[in-house]
Every structure is written in C-alpha cells, then in structure tokens.
Amino acid sequence: MSLSTVTPARMRPGEGAVARLACLALQPVLSRIVRRTAARHPSLFARLGPHQTTDFLIDPVELPFTLHLRPDPAALILRAVPRDAAPHAGATIRGRFLLLLELVDAEEDGDAAFFSRDLDVSGDTEAVVRLRNALDDMDGSLAEETAAMFGPPGRAILARLRRAYSSTTTGQEIA
C-alpha cells in the first residue's frame, strides 16, 4: 500500500461542522474509555517513562476527526478534535481506524503494519515505540472492553466494523 492512502482526505464542504459535532458526541465515551483503561492497567504508565506528558495524535485517516492522547496519569487526556484544531503533537500515528484499533489490541503487529506502510509514524519515534510497548503489555482487548461498556449493541457495532474492515480494501465504506 502506498503512503498516499494514509494521507488524510482533503476536507469537503461542511465537514468542519460535522467534525465538531462528532467530537462533541464522542467525548463522554472517550473519557470513560481512558479512565477505565488507566484504572485497569496501571502498569501501562511505567512503560511510557518520560513520555507520559507527550502529546500523541492518533489519526484515523477515514474519520472526520483525530484523537489527541496525553497519557499523563495525573491529568489524563483522550479527546477527539477536528483535524484543523489538533494541537501540536510530539508524535503522530496515522492509519485506517480499524488498523489503529487492532494495533492497540495487539491483534495486528505494529512492525508489520509499518513495514507494509499501512501505518505512518512521524515525530518522536521513541515516544511511539514506548506507547506501542505499553499498550502491547495489556492483556485483553481494549476494543472489546470498550464495546462491552455499551452492552450487546456495543459488541454488535464492533463486530460490524471488523467485518466491514476485512471485506473492504479501500476503507472508505466504514467511515
């Protein structure tokens, strides 16, 4: 896969407003995910070392927003922001949403994704490596845990996402 496929699409008319709405709607969920993860997997922070205060952008290319993560146990941030309002990041990880989700869950091998250039890393490479190793040391599935927070409907949505992801080559349909 070429690098161009992981470059964010140019913004379409009206997308800015959609993005801001999507971010608003998503925020309570993100806050719950991050609090829950921090509580259940405290050892994650030790592996981050000095990068607990690094700003990460996790950028799902086919979605209208990007995720800002600051894994500081004292002031944890995970929020959705429109791309044009994203903060300056220490490190950016860009790729298709389900690939990013699978990386978080170690369903997919990060190195393999990078070698195939499905995944695009920029900024502080050590920060990304630490985040990857920290997440990789979590047992269980963050996606499953999150889906489970919403009961059977949540799990159904996740299953549908995965089917859509595996059946498509362009990734556009799942956006």
Partner 1 sequence: MSLAELICPAGTPAALRTAVDAGADAVYCGFQDATNARNFPGLNFTPDELRDAVAFAHAKGTKVLLALNTYPPAGKVDLWRQAADTGARIGVDAFIVADMGVADYIARSHPGIRLHLSVQAAASSPEAIRYYCENFGVKRVVLPRILTIPEIRQIRTEIPCEIETFIFGNHGLMVEGRCSLTNYLTGQSTNMDGVCSPASDVEYARHADGSMSSQLAGFTIDRFSPEEKAGYPTICKGRYTAPHRPEGYYAFEEPVSLNLSRLLPELIEAGVHAFKIEGRQRSKSYVRGVVRAFRAAVDDIRAGRQANIADLIALTEGQKQTQGAFETKKWR
Contacting positions for partner 1 (CB under 8 A): 2-4, 43, 46-49, 106-112, 114-117, 121-122, 124-126, 128-134, 136-139
CB of residue 108 to partner 1, shortest distance in Å: 6
Nearest distance in Å: CB 117, partner 1 = 5
CB of 4 to partner 1, least distance (A): 6
Sequence-distant (≥ 6) Cβ neighbours of residue 40 within 8 angstroms: 145
CA distances for 39 relative to 15, 27, 109, 166, angstroms: 35, 18, 25, 32
Nearest CB to partner 1, comparing residues 20 and 41: 41
Residues found in the chain = 175
Nearer to partner 1, 45 or 150 (CB): 45
User: The tokens of 143 are what?
Assistant: 């996606």
Tokens of 51: 């990068």
